[in-house]
Amino acid sequence: MNDFFSTVRKHQAQNLPFVIYSKPNSSTVFAFLQQNDKLYKVSDYSQKGFVFASFDEKQLILIPEKQSKIISAQQVELKYSTIENENEDADFDLEAKKQYEDLVSKGIEAIENDEFKKVVLSRSEIVDVVNFDFILAFQRLIDLYPATFSYCFFHPKIGLWMGATPEQLLKANGNVFETTALAGTQKANSETEIVWQQKEKDEQQYVTDFIVKRLREFAASVVVSEPYSLKAGSIWHIKTDISGVLNENSTLKEVIDTLHPTPAVCGLPKKKAKAFILENENYDRTFYTGFLGELNSSFANNSTSSDLFVNLRSMQIEGNKAILYMGCGITKESIPEKEWEESVNKSMTMKRVLKK
């Protein structure tokens, strides 16, 4: 592992693009080390490499397989650290709280006016960091959140991003695909049994119904699991597994365009919810709630596969500041203050990584 990270550190010292990542519940860490500083882009999803896409899909960045040195290593130990019942930071910006609650209230009003059924509203938060070490931060990510897709992405023309996301956008091998519906949020506590309210159950069902309906346009068969609880760090979600077989004439691009942005990061109906987000959030999400992962990759085996995740629980590092991103699914049952509290809980995912 030390050789792996020292190689990545030397690469970053040359200001060259790279990504390091670990898949959910895996002990293997991979790195794509791009051998030049060119900004490559995805044009039609036929390219091979690691894709890093923005929420609006206007930026489809690619670290190409052919232009990269690809290395991997086994983690020596997964400690499965938990910091769940500690006294979280109580200090927050009262103005930020008011702004977010006002935004949520506006979203609820739009839902009551039948503009859409659900909208996902997000915010950003700036945290001061001193002597930030991306290797140390990444090691903390994979230690704290072993059940997520954890990554550190750098490009001199894009910046440095990190995250630990529990949500798969799409896994595709040939014409066989897997995806998930993820919604509902609950902070973990000492209770052994998780009880979901109707608001969270409805939110999850919206997401599942949307994905299944859209995929049936491109798939010969779709199989849907029963919803179940999934723990990601100190947060519980409701998750449904969805799989199937694509029609012979369906393309990867069609499926990605159909799924992204999912109702878990945008809303329902998608176009109206997205328009509301772009008009009312008053900041640019850029790569937060975009997607990332292996695209048509064949470096690890003989078959070509894609393994893509939604960019949740993420942060951007700019000098001595970390910009954290978090969002909540808003339905007609939402309570603005509760949604603020949920966003604060989600911000702790990255704040734990930044703690010394």
Task: Please give the chain's pLDDT, 356 residues, in tens.
Answer: 789 999 999 999 999 999 999 999 999 999 999 999 999 999 999 999 999 999 999 999 999 999 999 999 998 664 544 444 444 455 678 999 999 999 999 999 999 999 999 999 999 999 999 999 999 999 999 999 999 999 999 999 999 999 999 889 999 998 899 998 887 778 777 666 788 988 888 878 888 998 899 999 999 899 999 999 988 767 788 999 999 999 989 999 999 998 999 888 999 888 999 999 999 999 999 999 999 999 999 887 767 899 999 999 999 999 999 999 999 999 898 999 999 999 998 898 889 999 76
Long-range pairs, 280-285, Cβ under 8 A, ≥24: 280/103, 280/106, 280/107, 280/121, 281/103, 281/121, 281/122, 281/123, 283/123, 283/124, 285/54, 285/55, 285/56, 285/122, 285/325
Which pair of structure tokens corresponds to residue 201?
């159950």
Eight-state DSSP code of residue 45: S
SS3 for 34?
strand
pLDDT of amino acid 86: 44
**Of 87, 84, 24, which Cα lies nearest the Cα of 230?**
24
Radius of gyration of the chain (CA): 19
- The Cα–Cα gap between 30 and 34 comes to 13
Q: Is the CB of residue 108 less than 8 Å from the CB of residue 334? A: yes
Note if the bond before 64 is cis, omega within 30 degrees: no
Q: Which fold has domain 2-75+92-354?
A: Anthranilate synthase (3.60.120)
Q: Exposure of 146 by Cβ count < 10 A (0-12 exposed, 13-18 middle, 19+ buried)?
A: buried
pLDDT of amino acid 84: 45
Q: What is the pTM of this model?
A: 0.90
Give the side-chain half-sphere CA count within 13 A for 247.
Answer: 10
Q: Is the CB of residue 3 less than 8 Å from the CB of residue 116? A: no
- The Cα–Cα gap between 147 and 165 comes to 9
- The Cα–Cα gap between 32 and 95 comes to 41
Note if the bond before 269 is cis, omega within 30 degrees: yes
Q: Where are the domains of the chain?
A: 2-75+92-354
**Of 154, 149, 162, which Cα lies nearest the Cα of 310?**
149
pLDDT of amino acid 77: 60
pLDDT of amino acid 231: 81
Q: Sign of the CA dihedral 57, 324, 112, 110?
A: negative
